[in-house]
Structure 1
């Protein structure tokens, strides 16, 4: 599979889609109220710091998948199970995002459609994308991103041209103090969505312009973070902090208020399509990195590639369906339990250990 290659523009496109992914559903830090934008900017800085760490580790072992680097650093006895754990981690996060969008469609435009049907159809397309490979996913993203940004920009333009945002909704700043800010920055703000960029450590060997890899990655995350921050400010300034915090899908509530001369209105379905598009790329990338990691670790024969994709697809559907009984429980677990007990160890603790060991290994090798 390593013969596949993507260029830096395609890497940038995938990072944008990945970071925006499910962020507009649950990652806008709206629990911080008026200070959400401060939380997001600080989280972005922390996320950029994590990304620099992942890039540093990749620089020690270029051309190796992240899972292969883990085994290289820790040895097969310890490294293999941890590498396998990372594949399970990517797969689980992909299943969580899949459930996010299954619930989104169920509570918005597909009220009578069983969750199983929605998730299954989503997974079939994702599995097909993974089977075709990263080049196909990257080219597809390259086609859709300009249109997604254009449509998203137009919707925001409509919100502002109508004068919906109210600056008073963002004041006073820091009315609940810095404690409210820091409690939202860590662990949830940094780890989701910024820390999830660790998944791209599995894709870096596929980039054909390695010298510009770090710059492209950092700029992609930076731009994504600024877009997310701007969207959070817009939503709070339109809905107010209380409504924004309690809304199931605040982006849709914001867009639903657009009504230009009774001509441009009811833009919700188009926004849902854009959100689902971004969600597709995020799930597909998480599915793909889990797939290539497991394919390498388990030494799956090439002629079994299709059946392995189908098996993983069935597993993802099952996990997405059984992980929570309802949307409220799913969101609660995703925002309070997953960041601290899953994201922090996998995004911060273990990578820090790996970077430290790799650093000393390289030092000893040089000496």
Structure 2
């Protein structure tokens, strides 16, 4: 994967931001602890995530043309920075593993209940490995093909839900019934970590922008668009199912779409929903996998192709550690969120702080300049 073959267009970056952030998020009721105010909790989480995104973009501006591994080396020093970089590579692999397990569980739950998860998860990892081996640009071409399909599919499902009067937005009332505190508790830090804090992964990719300039415009546009979409999907799930049912279901949007089947004039729309989830999770898994490979290739000086198989095996093997889907979800919504806060929030903000201090010191030193000695008098 040479750098010359990995240049990315602004459109590719913007499309990937949207598809990556959408992922499988519309299927869940994020901030469900706030019940009918879950949409408001997600809105608050997206606003907090936007501040984090601005910090990440500021970090990229401080290190133009560099990726996260190089930033860590510059900010923390060569030894500490490389150690942090190695840990980040395995963190990316861990996130990819969680997505692979999601894909396996979802396939077993919806489409292929009698097929072994070992086979379906192996096929997903193999597909991702093949795309990554072809190069970063190939991975980023996928959203150009898939995002229009995703948008049309979601638009069709939303239109059907609204047109058939399955929605009742009165179920979102009363707003802030128990005050703002429960909404904030539901929003922070959980909704920052998933999905908004995962934008951290783009620190490995923004430097690949083929055209001169910052990646901020397309990234911010994509982030705002997808945030509004996710907030609306949260509200839609509540409007269709009601707070009690929506908070008790593992995949509320899948249940929302199944209400259309109950009307009797259209069937098997849940298959469309399942494929939308597949597209979102697969792209997210592929991007984490790609960044783990790119990061370790840089740190080790060994070609990326060697690390594709290494991480592929590691991701596939570790996806079996959790005994069942219940344990998988419990870890994902428990200890995993605390780990996310360290990698998505604490370390990047510390790196930004150190980088700003150093930049300020350099500017001050440059402004003052060396003190010139007075020439000796010849009188």
Q: For this structure pair, what is the TM-score category when the shorter chain's length is used for normalisation? A: over 0.9
Contact 1:65/1:202 (<8 A) preserved: yes
Tell me the residue number matched to 1:366: 363
- Cα offset for 1:42? 0.7
Which of 166-175 and 156-165 deviates more? 166-175
- How does 1:172-183 map onto structure 2 within 5 Å? 172-183=174-185
Report the alpha carbon displacement of residue 96 of structure 1 after superposing the two structures with TM.
0.9
What residue number does 2:3 align with? 2
SS at match of 2:319: helix
- C-alpha change, 1:338 and 1:210, in structure 2 (3 Å) is farther
Distance 2:93 2:32 in 1: 27
Which 4+ runs in 1 deviate beyond 6 A?
A: none
TM-score normalised by the chain length of structure 1? 0.95
Aligned residues: 362
Find the aligned partners of 2:29 and 2:93 in 1 and give their Cα distance.
19
1:202-249 per-position Cα deviation (integer Å, ceiling 9, x unaligned):
001111234251111111111111111111111111011111111121
2:129/2:309 contact within 8 Å kept: yes
Change (3 A) 1:88 1:286: same
Q: Indicate the residue corresponding to 1:143 in structure 2.
A: 145
Asked whether the 8 Å contact 1:165–1:238 carries over to 2, the reply is: yes
- The verdict on how the C-alpha distance between 1:210 and 1:256 changes in structure 2, with shifts beyond 3 A counting, is farther
Matched, 1:163 2:165: yes
Decide which moves more: 21-30 or 172-181.
21-30
Separation in 2 of the partners of 1:250 and 1:335?
17
The answer to whether the aligner puts 1:245 opposite 2:242 as a matched pair is no
Query: Does the CA-based 8 Å contact 1:26-1:331 persist in structure 2?
Result: no
Q: Deviations over 1:304-339 (max 9, x none)?
A: x434312211110111111x2111111121112211
Residue 347 of structure 1 corresponds to which residue in structure 2? 344
CA contact under 8 A between 1:2 and 1:205: conserved in structure 2? Answer: no
Question: Which residue does 1:356 correspond to in 2?
Answer: 353
**1:33-48 mapped onto 2 (5 Å cutoff):** 33-48=35-50
1:96–1:320: 8 Å Cα contact kept in structure 2? yes
Task: List alignment gaps of at least 5 residues for structure 2.
Answer: 365-379
How far did residue 85 of structure 1 move?
1.2
What is the deviation of 1:265? 2.5
- Structure 1, 194-203 or 98-107: larger mean CA deviation: 98-107
State the SS of the aligned residue for 2:213.
helix
- Report the more deviating stretch, 342-351 or 305-314: 305-314
Q: Identify the residue that residue 276 of structure 1 maps to in structure 2.
A: 278
How far residue 259 of structure 1 moved from its aligned partner, in angstroms, is 4.2
- 352 and 336 in structure 1: CA distance in 2 versus 1, 3 angstrom threshold: same
Alpha-carbon distance in 2 for matches of 1:269, 1:32: 29
Say whether the 8 Å CA contact 2:293–2:308 is kept in structure 1.
Answer: yes
5 Å-filtered alignment, 1:256-271, equals 256-259=258-261, 262-271=264-273
Please, what is the CA RMSD of the aligned residues?
1.5
Trace 1:12-51 onto structure 2 (pairs within 5 A). 12-26=14-28, 28-51=30-53
1:1-367 correspondence runs (5 A): 1-3=2-4, 4-26=6-28, 28-259=30-261, 262-301=264-303, 305-322=304-321, 324-339=322-337, 341-367=338-364
Structure 1, 23-32 or 329-338: larger mean CA deviation: 23-32
Contact preservation (8 Å) 2:241, 2:256: yes
Unaligned runs of 5+ residues in structure 1 are: none
Per the normalisation by structure 2, the TM-score is 0.92
User: After the TM superposition, which of the residue ranges 253-262 and 108-117 deviates more from structure 2?
Assistant: 253-262
Q: Distance in 1 between matches of 2:251 and 2:188?
A: 23
Between the aligned partners of 2:60 and 2:305, the Cα distance in structure 1 is 29
